[in-house]
Amino acid sequence: MNILVINCGSSSLKYQLINMKNEEVLAKGLAERIGIYGSRLKHTPKDGDSVIVEGAMPSHKDAVKYVLDALMNKEYGVISSTDEINAVGHRVVHGGEEFNKSTLLTDDVLEAVEKCSDLAPLHNPANLIGINACKELMPETPMVGVFDTAFHQTMPEKAFLYGIPYEYYEKHKIRRYGFHGTSHSFVSKRTAEILGKDIEDLKIVVCHLGNGASICAVDGGKSVDTSMGLTPLEGLIMGTRSGDIDPAIIEFLYKKEKLNLEEIMNILNKKSGALGISQVSSDFRDIEEEMDKGNKQAKTTMDVYAYRVAKYVGSYAAAMNGIDAIVFTAGLGENNKDVRKEICDYLEFLGVDVDDEKNNCRGIEKDFSKDGAKVRSLVVPTNEELMIAQETKEIVQ
Ligand code: AMP
């Protein structure tokens, strides 16, 4: 069984074709600049070099056509017809309270997903465009939606309610939803496997530290709290997002800088976080380079970042009455030993104890705790595409 995994953004489309017999990636790629000048597809078949296909992609449907053509290309393709795609798994960012698990995308379900667009106006419409484009081009192929929010639907009310009038939850469903659920779920399951324990018996904190970053308390395999909220803006300091701030800052900026709401939200989403504090870059590789040159602001950025993550881990240890493992994943979590070390050093009181030599690793599964440490510290690379494919397979079967 081959499953095509699609992750559709407003002007991009990422894909992987996975053979579910052995979970091998047959091909993967990215269509960029959809709907604007200079669109192109980068396609990488297994055991082959990447190819760049340039051509007009005025719509997502065109992009999907390019993807299918590349997958079936005589030279660099990996299948001979779309019949060899048995199902398509789509990443859908927001499933609201409607969806607590992955779902077959019937017309009724798509209508419900559209209703969630209010909650994720930047993401859900793009996801829907991708789904509809695939449905048009492969009408007989089952499509499954895998929601970023679904894993967090197990959070109790005390974790998901905000301290604002309850009527806003009742009327508008304003509450914490959380994101990166596919990653938190995948990584926590894999952690239990690595530790050779039943996930039901584990209290795990997963730190998904990428350009977008969130942290999740996983108790007995279930999400009980997470740092992102109604939108992905809340929580940790991110590449360009502020994470938690005093909400009154919005009014303050409005008055002092004469900015309107749209401009302020743009600053909080796109010009804040690591980029905003460091004034260097949203990418921690650049920030580290500046640190090495003695840039104090870059060092401050790293300190603010690590401190915020450590505070969240501490609060989740309180929420779960202890933790057994802290796990790092995504670009920064998997690759940056200094950030991991700085965070873990705050957590010695919990029983976290890092082996610096073992921590000197990148992008591989590793338990980097000292032998005998009470709380295990691990790197577990995330694989959201594989998780989407696994969920899709389960549903279509
Ligand atoms: P992501 O959104 O998961 O791609 O993560 C992006 C962040 O991860 C950026 O801040 C990068 O600095 C960091 N990152 C990604 N790859 C590496 C790498 N190979 N070495 C160090 N940092 C990396």
Q: What is the pLDDT of residue 192?
A: 98
- Is 211 a pocket residue for ligand 1 (Cβ < 6 Å)? yes
Q: Residues 73-77: what's their mean pLDDT?
A: 96
Q: Which amino acid is at 275?
A: L
Q: For residue 121, is pLDDT > 90?
A: no
Calculate how far, in angstroms, residue 221's C-alpha sits from the geometric centre of ligand 1.
27
- Is 330 a pocket residue for ligand 1 (Cβ < 6 Å)? yes
Atom 16 (ligand 1) nearest CA = 331
Query: pLDDT digit string (tens) for 230-266?
Result: 999 999 999 999 999 999 999 999 999 999 999 999 9
Q: Find the range with the poorest average confidence among 116-120, 139-143, 322-326.
A: 116-120
Known binding residue 201? Answer is: no
- Is 210 a pocket residue for ligand 1 (Cβ < 6 Å)? yes
Q: For residue 9, is pLDDT > 90?
A: no
- Is 331 a pocket residue for ligand 1 (Cβ < 6 Å)? yes
Query: pLDDT digit string (tens) for 331-344?
Result: 999 999 999 999 99
Smallest CA-to-CA distance from 199 within 213, 214, 215, 187 is with: 187
Query: pLDDT digit string (tens) for 198-234?
Result: 999 999 999 999 999 999 999 999 999 999 999 999 9
Q: What is the pLDDT of residue 139?
A: 94
Known binding residue 111? Answer is: no
- Is 329 a pocket residue for ligand 1 (Cβ < 6 Å)? no
What are the helix (H) ranges across 246-295? 248-256, 261-270, 273-278, 284-292
Q: Which CATH class is domain 2-147?
A: alpha beta
- Is 100 a pocket residue for ligand 1 (Cβ < 6 Å)? no
Q: For residue 293, is pLDDT > 90?
A: yes
Q: Let me know: does 375 contact 195? Beta carbons within 8 Å.
A: no
Known binding residue 14? Answer is: yes
Provide the residue ranges of all domains of the chain, joining segments of one domain with +. 2-147, 197-379
Q: Let me know: does 320 contact 216? Beta carbons within 8 Å.
A: no
Q: For residue 10, is pLDDT > 90?
A: no
Smallest CA-to-CA distance from 213 within 174, 243, 246 is with: 243
Q: Residues 31-51: what's their mean pLDDT?
A: 94
Q: Residue with structure tokens 């010695």?
A: 348
- Is 86 a pocket residue for ligand 1 (Cβ < 6 Å)? no
> Going by CATH, does the domain composed of 197-379 fall within 3.30.70.100?
no
The pTM is what?
0.94
Query: pLDDT digit string (tens) for 54-69?
Result: 999 999 999 999 999 9
Smallest CA-to-CA distance from 291 within 274, 307, 273 is with: 274
- For residue 285, give the ligand 1 atom closest to its CA: 12
Calculate how far, in angstroms, residue 334's C-alpha sits from the geometric centre of ligand 1.
8
With b for 16 or more beta-carbon neighbours within 10 A and e for fewer, the 299-322 pattern comes to: bebbeebbebbbebbbebbebbee
- Is 238 a pocket residue for ligand 1 (Cβ < 6 Å)? no
Report the catalytic residues: 148
- Is 284 a pocket residue for ligand 1 (Cβ < 6 Å)? yes
Calculate how far, in angstroms, residue 363's C-alpha sits from the geometric centre of ligand 1.
10
Calculate how far, in angstroms, residue 333's C-alpha sits from the geometric centre of ligand 1.
8
Q: For residue 78, is pLDDT > 90?
A: yes
Domains 2-147 and 197-379 in one fold:
yes
**3-state secondary structure (DSSP) of residue 186:** helix
Q: For residue 313, is pLDDT > 90?
A: yes
- For residue 363, give the ligand 1 atom closest to its CA: 19
Atom 8 (ligand 1) nearest CA = 331
- For residue 211, give the ligand 1 atom closest to its CA: 2
Q: For residue 118, is pLDDT > 90?
A: no
Q: Let me know: does 212 contact 218? Beta carbons within 8 Å.
A: no
Best residue for ligand 1 mutational test, from 284, 289, 302 (most atoms within 8 Å of Cβ): 284
- Is 336 a pocket residue for ligand 1 (Cβ < 6 Å)? yes
Please provide the average confidence, as pLDDT, over all residues in the chain: 96
**In DSSP terms, which residues pair with 53 in a beta bridge?**
41
Smallest CA-to-CA distance from 198 within 206, 207, 189 is with: 189
Question: Which burial class, exposed, middle or buried, applies to 164 when counting CB atoms under 10 A from its CB (0-12, 13-18, 19+)?
Answer: exposed
**In DSSP terms, which residues pair with 45 in a beta bridge?**
27
Q: Residues 78-85: what's their mean pLDDT?
A: 96
Query: pLDDT digit string (tens) for 344-386?
Result: 999 999 999 999 999 999 999 999 999 999 999 999 999 999 9
Q: Is the dihedral of CA 91, 95, 101, 107 positive or negative?
A: negative
**3-state secondary structure (DSSP) of residue 372:** coil
What is the number of residues in the chain? 397
Best residue for ligand 1 mutational test, from 179, 208, 336 (most atoms within 8 Å of Cβ): 336
Calculate how far, in angstroms, residue 97's C-alpha sits from the geometric centre of ligand 1.
31
Best residue for ligand 1 mutational test, from 335, 340, 364 (most atoms within 8 Å of Cβ): 335
Known binding residue 333? Answer is: yes
Known binding residue 285? Answer is: yes
